[in-house]
A = this chain, B = another copy of it.
Amino acid sequence: MKQNKKALVVFSGGLDSTVALYWAMNNYELVETVSFNYGSKHNEQEHAHALKTCKKLGVKNTCIDLDFMNQYFKSDLLKSGGEIPEGAYNADNMSSTVVPFRNGIMLSIAAGLAESKSLDVLVLGNHSGDHTIYPDCRPEFIAGITEAIFQGTCNNVEVVSPFCNITKTDIVKLGKELGVDFALTYSCYKGGELHCGKCGTCQERIEAFQEAGVKDPTNYI
């Protein structure tokens, strides 16, 4: 049973936010998406994938340029930063890929956009596996920004984080149930045409499919 609400999904084209989009379409009467071009090495590939999924689902996308992040922020995920680390998806290995307060910035802009468009709900696809690495994925951050956005918007926009306490493996299982076309999702932090299979996010993606017992349709180099 869908809620009579309009949702805006923060949608990168990655695996998590694609499943979040399918989840939102099952839960809300109307769904739109917003994407951000913030100068990450994989932004172009991610967004091309995002647009394919939007086209497949008939969903509207607004893409917002945030050039200042690549210019002023420090992170190896950005084009202005160093090399993407290879190996395990854990805090030691991936900390250089933190983009300072990225989710706070994206959710805040999405909140303003939602108020402008009279949308009721923001959906973010963060999950529990991100907590140790990225402070702006943790439940304490989500609680604070949820309160800030509810109180700070004229129409009391609600933040919903459906995967905050589940793992990427659970997300793959849910995506399978929801009929997600995983081949249209993109995860690799290196941003090449094919997934590298070696960076932390590729490793995490491979493991999630294996643990979920779901066939991984990704072509790795």
Q: Which residues of A contact B (CB under 8 A)?
A: 62, 64-65, 67-69, 72-74, 98-105, 107-109, 111-116, 135-136, 138, 140-141, 143-154
Could you say how many copies of this chain the assembly holds?
Answer: 2
Query: Among the listed B74, B145, B147, which residue makes an inter-chain contact with A116, where contact means beta carbons less than 8 Å apart?
Result: B74
Which residue in chain B gives the minimum CB-CB distance to A34? B72
A103: which B residues are within 8 A, CB to CB?
152
Q: Is the CB of A144 within 8 A of B153?
A: no
CA distance A62 to B67 in the complex (A): 14
A149: which B residues are within 8 A, CB to CB?
101, 104, 144
Q: Is the interface of A mostly helix, strand, loop or mixed?
A: helix
A112: which B residues are within 8 A, CB to CB?
69, 73, 99-102, 104-105
A116: which B residues are within 8 A, CB to CB?
72-74, 100
A104: which B residues are within 8 A, CB to CB?
108, 111-112, 148-149, 152
- List 22 interface pairs A-B (beta carbons < 8 Å), by A numbering: A64-B68, A69-B112, A73-B116, A74-B116, A98-B154, A100-B113, A100-B115, A101-B108, A101-B111, A101-B152, A101-B153, A104-B111, A104-B149, A105-B109, A105-B112, A107-B108, A108-B109, A136-B152, A144-B146, A144-B148, A144-B151, A145-B148
Which residue in chain B gives the minimum CB-CB distance to A67? B65
CA distance A81 to B127 in the complex (A): 38
Closest 4 CB pairs of A and B: A144-B148, A144-B147, A100-B115, A136-B152
Q: Is the CB of A135 within 8 A of B152?
A: yes
Which residue in chain B gives the minimum CB-CB distance to A142? B148
A113: which B residues are within 8 A, CB to CB?
72-73, 100
